[in-house]
């Protein structure tokens, strides 16, 4: 029988979780109830009590209550719930996770499911779901549903919303327990792409498909880079074709598409084979033209479309990006190879295009260290194919 883990603050949402537990059981699911409430003793018995959750976070419930710091308590119970879920997952007792709540409960649930693998169903019913859900979803496959009304009792509206959530969780859990996944057993390669590097990635993807791989392409928009890193962390990836590392530029300069400082680290940390190129390091991303910070008004700006304005990186910025990229690759524990396109790193960096700046590119290349330096533009099909073939060699060598 499939198991749904309920994660909730039973001190304030006991009635709702009792209703959900009964509904899930009626739908044929086993239920593990995890209490993450701090304010008072739960009005119902939980399979994993709040004391145990707090202990899993390295603290205790009495200390959290005595401190009276709600923010610290939410953080601690989120960490503890994540540890509890990790243990249940190892024991094979999680086929789906369901949580309901406001901002605090949603934050705890979001942290609790963050380390679970991609593919394991995670559903949060939240009062916060009609706004910016990035803090709750992150880079994982979290399904989030707006509660419509506050989670304060079971009424004619919440009964419908919570009932749908229970049915969804039960159905997803059953499918997960049955292993109803794609029959495609090809090894997976994760690739990064931007509009200005699409021809290169298309050429690499086609070659990798010929070599027997399934290629998952991630749009290098910040969220895409974080999702790529998370997928690598999940253990589903045989290799990474990180052709488009542009998010490093946004992280350095302050653009709107940064993937954060951990971009380009998961494959190296996990020892997964990776081939890397400085794709689109020539640009930093902003929104509409009038949103570009005043400090950049004298820079080389290009209106890509009404909602995206690009800024050319300077030789100094490119040099620093080269150093950062080299440091990340040097820290890798697995096979890594850098590919450098000497004739330009994006469609806008080709000869005659607005970001063509050989001096800036050379400043980055000089700091990147050794690699395959090809006298090609990044979007030359031969460049993408060369990266694909080298990645295949690395993956094959690792298996042998």
H or E element at residue 3: strand 3-8
Distance (Å, rounded) from C-alpha 250 to C-alpha 307?
16
Residues 258, 260, 264, 267, CA torsion sign? negative
Residue 262 lies in a domain: yes
Q: Within 13 Å of residue 72, how many CA atoms lie on the same side as its CB?
A: 11
Residue 183 lies in a domain: no
Distance (Å, rounded) from C-alpha 263 to C-alpha 222?
9
DSSP 3-state assignment of 105? helix
Which residue reads 């993408």 in tokens?
384
The verdict on 104 and 55 lying in the same domain is: yes
Please tell me the predicted confidence (pLDDT) of residue 183: 57
Residue 182 lies in a domain: no
Please tell me the predicted confidence (pLDDT) of residue 182: 54
The verdict on 170 and 195 lying in the same domain is: no
Q: What is the DSSP string of 190-237?
A: EEEE-GGGHHHHHHHHHHHHHTT-EEEEEE-SSHHHHHHHHHHHTT--
Domain boundary among 146, 177, 208: 177
Residue 99 lies in a domain: yes
Q: How many domains does the chain have?
A: 2
Distance (Å, rounded) from C-alpha 337 to C-alpha 314?
25
Residues 183, 187, 191, 195, CA torsion sign? negative
The verdict on 355 and 387 lying in the same domain is: yes
The verdict on 142 and 110 lying in the same domain is: yes
The verdict on 153 and 193 lying in the same domain is: no
Distance (Å, rounded) from C-alpha 102 to C-alpha 110?
12
CA-based R_g, the chain, Å:
24
For residue 289, the 8-state DSSP code is G
Please tell me the predicted confidence (pLDDT) of residue 181: 55
Other Cβ atoms within 10 Å of 91 Cβ, number: 9
Residue 251 lies in a domain: yes
Q: Tens of pLDDT along the chain (400 residues)?
A: 999 999 999 998 999 999 999 999 999 999 999 999 998 777 788 999 999 999 999 999 999 999 989 999 999 999 999 999 999 999 999 999 999 999 899 999 999 999 898 889 999 999 998 888 888 887 788 999 999 988 888 999 999 999 999 999 999 999 999 985 555 689 999 999 999 999 999 999 999 999 999 999 999 999 999 999 989 998 889 999 999 999 999 999 999 999 999 999 999 999 999 999 999 999 999 999 999 999 999 999 999 999 999 999 999 999 999 999 999 999 999 999 999 999 999 999 999 999 999 999 999 999 998 899 999 999 999 999 999 999 999 999 977 6
Contact between residue 4 and residue 98 where contact means Cβ atoms under 8 Å apart: yes
CATH, residue 53:
3.40.50.12020
The verdict on 223 and 337 lying in the same domain is: yes
Please tell me the predicted confidence (pLDDT) of residue 17: 95
Distance (Å, rounded) from C-alpha 319 to C-alpha 252?
11
The verdict on 19 and 59 lying in the same domain is: yes
The verdict on 145 and 210 lying in the same domain is: no
The verdict on 87 and 206 lying in the same domain is: no
Closest among 140, 141, 337, 117 to 236, alpha carbons compared: 117
Contact between residue 184 and residue 171 where contact means Cβ atoms under 8 Å apart: no
Q: How far is CA 397 from CA 210, 211, 360, in A?
A: 18, 14, 36
The verdict on 222 and 74 lying in the same domain is: no
Residue 298 lies in a domain: yes
Please tell me the predicted confidence (pLDDT) of residue 138: 79
What are 209's two structure tokens?
Answer: 């498909």
Residue 151 lies in a domain: yes
Domain boundary among 123, 143, 177: 177
**Angle 278-367-363 from CA coordinates, rounded to 5°:** 75
H or E element at residue 83: helix 70-90
Contact between residue 95 and residue 175 where contact means Cβ atoms under 8 Å apart: no
Indicate yes or no: pTM above 0.85.
no
Distance (Å, rounded) from C-alpha 379 to C-alpha 386?
12
Contact between residue 374 and residue 386 where contact means Cβ atoms under 8 Å apart: yes
The verdict on 273 and 379 lying in the same domain is: yes
Cβ-proximal residues to 347 (8 Å cutoff; 6+ apart), any chain: 195, 196, 197, 199, 353, 379
Please tell me the predicted confidence (pLDDT) of residue 354: 97
Domain boundary among 148, 177, 206: 177
CATH, residue 264:
3.40.50.12030
Distance (Å, rounded) from C-alpha 125 to C-alpha 137?
12
Domain residue limits at 369? 188-399
The verdict on 232 and 369 lying in the same domain is: yes
């Amino acid at each position: 029988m499939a198991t749904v883990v309920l994660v909730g603050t039973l001190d304030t949402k006991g009635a709702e979780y009792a209703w959900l537990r009964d509904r899930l059981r009626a739908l044929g699911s086993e239920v593990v109830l995890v209490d993450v409430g701090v304010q008072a003793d739960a009005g119902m018995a939980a399979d994993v009590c709040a004391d145990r959750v707090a202990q899993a976070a390295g603290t205790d419930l009495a200390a959290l209550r005595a401190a009276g710091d709600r923010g610290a308590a939410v953080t601690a119970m989120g960490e503890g719930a994540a540890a509890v879920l990790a243990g249940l997952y190892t024991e094979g007792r999680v086929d789906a996770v369901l949580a309901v709540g406001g901002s605090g409960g949603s934050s705890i649930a979001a942290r609790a499911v963050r380390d679970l693998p991609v593919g394991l169903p995670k559903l949060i019913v939240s009062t916060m779901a009609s706004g910016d859900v990035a803090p709750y979803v992150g880079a994982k496959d979290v399904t989030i549903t707006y509660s419509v009304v506050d989670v304060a009792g079971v009424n004619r509206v919440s009964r419908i919303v919570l009932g749908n959530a229970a049915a969804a969780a039960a159905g997803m859990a059953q499918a997960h327990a049955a292993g109803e996944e794609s029959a495609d057993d090809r090894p997976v390669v994760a690739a990064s792409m931007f509009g200005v590097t699409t021809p290169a990635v298309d050429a690499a993807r086609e070659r990798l498909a010929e070599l027997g791989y399934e290629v998952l392409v991630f749009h290098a928009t910040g969220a895409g880079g974080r999702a790529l890193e998370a997928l690598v962390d999940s253990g589903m990836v045989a290799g990474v074709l990180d052709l488009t590392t542009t998010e490093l530029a946004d992280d350095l300069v302050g653009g709107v598409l940064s993937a954060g400082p951990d971009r380009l680290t998961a494959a190296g940390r996990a020892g997964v084979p990776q081939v890397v190129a400085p794709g689109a390091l020539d640009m930093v991303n902003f929104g509409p033209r009038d949103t570009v910070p005043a400090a950049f008004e004298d820079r080389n700006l290009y209106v890509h479309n009404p909602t995206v304005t690009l800024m050319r990186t300077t030789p100094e910025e490119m040099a620093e990006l080269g150093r950062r990229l080299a440091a990340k690759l040097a820290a890798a524990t697995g096979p890594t190879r850098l590919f450098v396109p000497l004739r330009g790193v994006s469609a806008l960096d080709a000869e005659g295009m607005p970001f063509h700046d050989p001096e800036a590119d050379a400043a980055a290349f000089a700091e990147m260290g050794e690699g395959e330096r090809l006298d090609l533009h990044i979007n030359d099909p031969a460049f993408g194919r060369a990266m694909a073939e080298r990645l295949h060699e690395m993956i094959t060598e690792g298996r042998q």
